[in-house]
Chain A
Amino acid sequence: MTDSFYRRAVSFTNARLWKLVHIDVLLMGSLLLLIGGGLFILYSASGQNVAMVERQVFRLAIGLLVCLALAQLPPKYMRRASPALFIFITVLLIGVLLFGVGAKGAQRWLALPGGLRFQPSEIMKIVMPMMIAWYFSDRHLPPNLKHILTVLSLIVLPVLIIAKQPDLGTALLVAVSGIFVLFLAGLRWRYILGAAALAPIAGYALWQFMHDYQRQRVLTFLNPESDPLGAGWNIIQSKTAIGSGGLYGKGWLEGTQAQLDFLPESHTDFIIAVLAEEFGMLGCSILILAYLLVIARGLYISATAADNYARLLAGSLTLTFFVYMFVNIGMVSGILPVVGVPLPLVSYGGTSIITIMATFGILMSIQTHKKAR
Chain B
Amino acid sequence: MVSRRHQNFRNYRQEQKLTQRRVFASALFVLLLAVVLIARLFYLQVIEHQLYQTKADDNRVMLVTEPPPRGLIYDRNGVVLADNRPIHSLTVIPERVSNFPRLQQMLSGIIDISDSEWEDFDDRLKEYRRPYQSLTLKSQLTDEEWARISVDLYKLDGVQVEAQLTRYYPFGEAFAHAIGYVGRITSKDLERVDRQAYQGALFIGKTGVEGFYEKTLFGEAGLSKVEVNARGRIMSELERQNPTPGKDLYLYLDARLQQYAYDLLGDYTGSVVAIDPTTGGILALVSKPGYDPNLFVRGISVKNYALLRQSKKLPLFNRALRGGYPPASTIKPFMGLAGLEYGFASWTERYFAKGYYQINPDGRRYRDWKRTGHGWINLERSIIESVDTYYYQLANKMGITPIHNFLTRFGFGQSNLLDLYGESNGLLPSSEWKKAKYREPWYSGDSVNVGIGQGFMVATPLQMASATSALASKGHYFYPRMTQLIGGQPAEFENGLGDEHDIVLKDQRNWDRMTDAMRKVITDSQGTARRLQGTEYDIAGKTGTGQVFSLQEDEEYDSEKLEKRLHDHALFIGFAPAKIPKIAVFAIFENGGSSSKPADLTGQLFNAYLHDDYPERYDYLKGNKND
Q: Which of B22, B34, B44 contacts A184 (CB 8 A)?
A: B22
Considering the complex, give the chain A residue whose CB is closest to the CB of B55: A240
Q: Contact at B27–A299, with CB atoms within 8 Å?
A: yes
Q: Which of A140, A240, A315 contacts B6 (CB 8 A)?
A: A140
A54 located at the interface, meaning its Cβ lies under 8 Å from any Cβ of chain B in the complex: no
- List chain A residues, Cβ under 8 A from B49: 243-244, 246-247
Q: Contact at B41–A322, with CB atoms within 8 Å?
A: no
For window 269-325 of chain A, which residues contact chain B by CB distance below 8 Å?
276-277, 280-281, 284-285, 288, 291-292, 295-296, 299, 302-303, 308, 311-312, 315, 319, 322
A326 located at the interface, meaning its Cβ lies under 8 Å from any Cβ of chain B in the complex: yes
Q: Which of A180, A240, A262, A333 contacts B41 (CB 8 A)?
A: A333
- Cβ distance A341 to chain B, nearest Cβ, rounded Å: 14
Q: Contact at B46–A244, with CB atoms within 8 Å?
A: no
Q: Contact at A246–B45, with CB atoms within 8 Å?
A: yes
A/B interface sample: 20 pairs, CB < 8 A: A138-B7, A185-B19, A240-B52, A243-B52, A244-B57, A256-B227, A262-B56, A262-B60, A276-B44, A276-B45, A281-B41, A281-B46, A295-B30, A303-B20, A303-B24, A308-B19, A319-B26, A326-B34, A330-B40, A335-B36
| A285→B46 CA distance, assembly (Å) | 13
Interface of A is mostly: helix
For window 1-45 of chain B, which residues contact chain A by CB distance below 8 Å?
5-7, 10, 15-16, 18-20, 22-24, 26-27, 30-31, 33-34, 36-38, 40-42, 44-45
Counting chain A CB atoms within 10 Å of each CB, which of B10, B26, B46 scores highest?
A: B26
A141 located at the interface, meaning its Cβ lies under 8 Å from any Cβ of chain B in the complex: yes
- Cβ distance B37 to chain A, nearest Cβ, rounded Å: 5
B608 located at the interface, meaning its Cβ lies under 8 Å from any Cβ of chain A in the complex: no
A102 located at the interface, meaning its Cβ lies under 8 Å from any Cβ of chain B in the complex: no
Q: Which of B19, B24, B44, B229 contacts A312 (CB 8 A)?
A: B19
Binding site for B on A (CB under 8 A): 138, 140-142, 180, 183-186, 237, 239-247, 256-257, 260-262, 276-277, 280-281, 284-285, 288, 291-292, 295-296, 299, 302-303, 308, 311-312, 315, 319, 322, 326, 329-330, 333-335
Contacts A247-B46, A329-B37; A322 near B55 (Cβ below 8 A): no
- List chain B residues, Cβ under 8 A from A311: 16, 19-20, 23
- Cβ distance A153 to chain B, nearest Cβ, rounded Å: 14
- List chain B residues, Cβ under 8 A from A319: 26, 30
Counting chain A CB atoms within 10 Å of each CB, which of B10, B30, B55, B227 scores highest?
A: B30
Shortest Cβ-Cβ A-B pairs, 7 listed: A243-B52, A244-B56, A260-B229, A261-B230, A281-B45, A243-B44, A262-B230
B228 located at the interface, meaning its Cβ lies under 8 Å from any Cβ of chain A in the complex: yes
- List chain B residues, Cβ under 8 A from A312: 19
Counting chain A CB atoms within 10 Å of each CB, which of B37, B42, B60, B231 scores highest?
A: B37
| A296→B57 CA distance, assembly (Å) | 39
B48 located at the interface, meaning its Cβ lies under 8 Å from any Cβ of chain A in the complex: yes
| A23→B57 CA distance, assembly (Å) | 48
| A308→B13 CA distance, assembly (Å) | 11
Considering the complex, give the chain A residue whose CB is closest to the CB of B47: A243
Q: Which of A186, A246, A280 contacts B18 (CB 8 A)?
A: A186
| A35→B15 CA distance, assembly (Å) | 36
Q: Contact at B30–A284, with CB atoms within 8 Å?
A: no
Q: Which of B7, B24, B31, B53 contacts A243 (CB 8 A)?
A: B53
Considering the complex, give the chain A residue whose CB is closest to the CB of B227: A260
B59 located at the interface, meaning its Cβ lies under 8 Å from any Cβ of chain A in the complex: yes
